Chains A and B, each alone.
Chain A
Amino acid sequence: MDTILKAENIWKTYGSSSVKVNALNGIDLSFAKGRFYSVIGRSGSGKSTLLYVLSGLEKPTRGNVFFEGKDLSEYPDGQMAVFRRRHMGFVFQQYNLMEEYNVLENICMPLKLDQRKPDSGFLHTVLETLGLSDKQKKYAPELSGGEQQRVAIARSILSKPKIIFADEPTGNLDKKTALETLELLIGSAKKFGQTLIIVTHDLEVARMSEAVITLEDGRVVK
């Protein structure tokens, strides 16, 4: 299977010169194209840190992340921004929508930043799939938590990224909504052939994935 993302000896250290905490301790991982991965572990095990490092939102203290064979640490700020808007989608635990924009503008924002127009057919499909067709003109505060997360998912999908990262995307939702949202995310990723990496501490979610990565004290234990 083709490797889309590879992490080599990733270390991430936080803190000042006197107090240092290693969030990640030499992690080596590979992710194949089109597969669904879940990252589990206890609180403070380094799951979210790993996701931020893999997605290039945070730089590792040591080690390298390769996207399709290219080292992300070598990307300057502008190129990294291009990588993020073209090849990567990110779904946060908190919905992180821009309140001054409506649903449609939020969804299309990565494409707008890339000075591209959304494929109207694909946009329609995404909106239909996520049940947002009738909410395009609404603003974030007018939506429920589940709806906001669906908007975030739609935003991460619309630019047809090769890889989607989700940091506990259902953490703030009730169980029923969480399950529906997760099914939508997994279904969308499958439908559009995208690699999905989800950080979760919900074992039910982990069971739905094709591969489970377990972290403990910043190390991969399984």
Chain B
Amino acid sequence: MKRLGLLLLSSASMVTVIFCYMESLAPIYMDSLWSQSSSYTINQTTGQNGFQSILITDAFMERIKSLPGIRETVAWNQSAGTLEFSGMEENPFASLLMEHRYGVQVWDAIETAGQSAAPEGLWCRAYGIAEENWEKFFQYADGEIDREKFRDGEAVLLYLPYNTEAGIELDGQLYQDFGVALGDTVTITAYGMGELEEPIPSPVPGDDSLKSYKPYQQLMPTNRAKAEAVGIITANLEQDPCLTLFQSDNYYAVIGSNAFAKKLMEADRNGILLDKEIWSNQAYGYTNAFIYTGMDAGYFSTDYLMAKSAAEHCLMFTNQREEHAAYRQEALQALLHIWICGICMFLILALILLNTEMLHGFAQKRSFALLQAIGMSRRQLRARLAAKGLLMALASCLLGHVGYFLFFALKHIGTYQKFAEETDDTGTFFELLKAQFTGNCLEAGWSLPAHLSFCAFGMACVFLLFFAPQNRVLKETIRERLS
């Protein structure tokens, strides 16, 4: 009974260690996620009712970077067009998309504008990325990238997020080959939607270049850019908090430099369709920008200055900083609670265990002395104690995991109904546990080395709490212990 009690105490200590690690994974992940999410979003002002868009300029970005608390900025130009590549007609997936006129939003826009003829090629998005942000994309691309060619707009990255083993199912058929390969030359075509009319009063002070458009009677290709595909990104960039710039229905996309995007915008006097309701023929600029701040930003002043700058440039401004900071604070608070709770529980259990082991050692000291008197050496006795301690640590580690699993299961009994309702999940409770474990632990940054480190720490504590008090008894002489 005494041994069982000690084992249960040790196991409870291990549960607290495992608890601290496993329960802190989700808050750490959430904190990391929100710290990587943009605090402010700047978008170009869309040219609704046939008016020219106002884009984000380099000068604006430079000004933004100098504001207090700004950690990082990511700016890009997003436009729409069609993509062609050799052998496109033979590729079943590309053929299917052409047949189904994928990219229905754009065709809707074309039809709204009074166009009837559909362009050749596959609808796609084309991105022009600021040079300082290239690395963010390059890390996802396979192959070495020639930066000079990329800078000059002669090379681009292809973004085919579904071109993986899982592929994509369309019309009941699974497609894994999207037809474009590394080294292929791709052609992007941009389309004009109308002719510029006389300038109208610009909302930007001192800027009289804003113009309206008279729609064309039919869709007209205006610019064409050819480039070599030097890298293919198959990762889902929506998962990267810094790069949440792609829509999930985007099967084909081209990521290029500013030079590449400029080629698509060189529209003499024609208005260029960048995307639905986005028009431009002005000097190159970015359509979107994410602004990241640290936790130490001078928030209220930065909020004000950001909003003011955006308003002055007639750009659309969204402030998510407060919301994200609240999420981070919530995550950090949860983390703090978990660790305080875990450490307190661990210390209490460790103290109880230490005292119990000291009493146990005191009770055992006569037995130890007797063993030495009849021929056991101090080293043998220590080895025996160490072996017992090790066994105790291993057993408590095992039972600790069982204990944590029970805690995990108990925790989710209360949330089962809610979870099932929210997610329309009709699976069993075990499936819920599996899903929760996958979501909250495995996908939240669980790693075997870290887990083993925590286990090793817990086991070392249990071992020392067992071994040290009993070893201390051995310092007395045999006679002292026998009397």
Contact = CB atoms under 8 A, between A and B. Distances in A.
B375 A113 contact: yes
A77 B479 contact: no
A90 B374 contact: yes
A81 B380 contact: yes
Nearest to A94: B482
Contacts of B373: 57, 84, 90, 92, 96
Contacts of B366: 96
A52 B481 CA distance: 13
B374 A77 contact: no
A151 to B, nearest CB: 12
Interface residues of A, number: 22
Interface string A111-137: 001100000000000000000000000
Given A77-B378, A86-B375, A58 B367 contact: no
A110 B374 contact: yes
B376 interface: yes
A47 interface: no
Contacts of A82: 375, 377
Residue among A81, A86, A96, A114 with the most chain B CB within 10 A?
A81
Contacts of A90: 373-374
A211 interface: no
A78 B379 CA distance: 7
B380 A58 contact: no
B428 interface: no
A81 B372 contact: yes
A84 B375 contact: yes
Contacts of B370: 96, 98
Contacts of B477: 57-58
Nearest to A58: B479
A174 B112 CA distance: 117
Contacts of A92: 373, 482
Interface in B352-377: 366-367, 370-377
B141 interface: no
B380 A113 contact: yes
Nearest to A59: B477
Interface string A62-92: 0000000000000001101110111000101
A98 B367 contact: yes
A96 B482 contact: yes
Main secondary structure of the interface of B (DSSP, over half): helix
B478 interface: yes
Interface in A25-47: none
A81 B15 CA distance: 40
Interface in B309-350: none
A99 B378 CA distance: 21
A57 B380 CA distance: 16
A150 interface: no
Contacts of A159: 375
Contact of B374 (A52, A84, A99): A84
A109 interface: yes
A81 B376 contact: yes
B376 A113 contact: yes
B478 A85 contact: no
A80 B478 contact: no
Contacts of B380: 81, 113
B476 to A, nearest CB: 11
A90 B375 CA distance: 10
Given A92-B482, A96-B366, A78 B375 contact: no
A85 B375 contact: yes
A96 B366 CA distance: 8
A155 to B, nearest CB: 7
A164 to B, nearest CB: 12
Interface in B464-483: 477-479, 482
Contacts of A109: 371, 374
A159 B372 CA distance: 15
Contacts of A99: 367
Nearest to B375: A85
A209 B375 CA distance: 27
A117 to B, nearest CB: 15
Contacts of B478: 52, 57-58
B479 A113 contact: no
Contacts of A110: 374-375
A131 B288 CA distance: 98
Contacts of B372: 81, 84
Contacts of B479: 52, 57-58
Contacts of B371: 98, 109, 113
Nearest to B370: A96
Contacts of B482: 92, 96
Interface of B: 366-367, 370-380, 477-479, 482
16 contacts: A57-B477, A57-B479, A58-B479, A77-B379, A78-B377, A80-B377, A81-B372, A81-B380, A85-B375, A90-B373, A96-B482, A98-B367, A98-B370, A109-B374, A113-B380, A155-B374
Interface of A: 52, 57-58, 77-78, 80-82, 84-86, 90, 92, 96, 98-99, 109-110, 113-114, 155, 159
Given A52-B479, A57-B373, A77-B379, 4 more contacts: A57-B478, A77-B378, A78-B377, A99-B367
Q: Which 9 pairs from chain A and chain B are nearest by CB? A: A85-B375, A81-B377, A113-B375, A84-B375, A110-B374, A78-B377, A57-B478, A110-B375, A77-B378
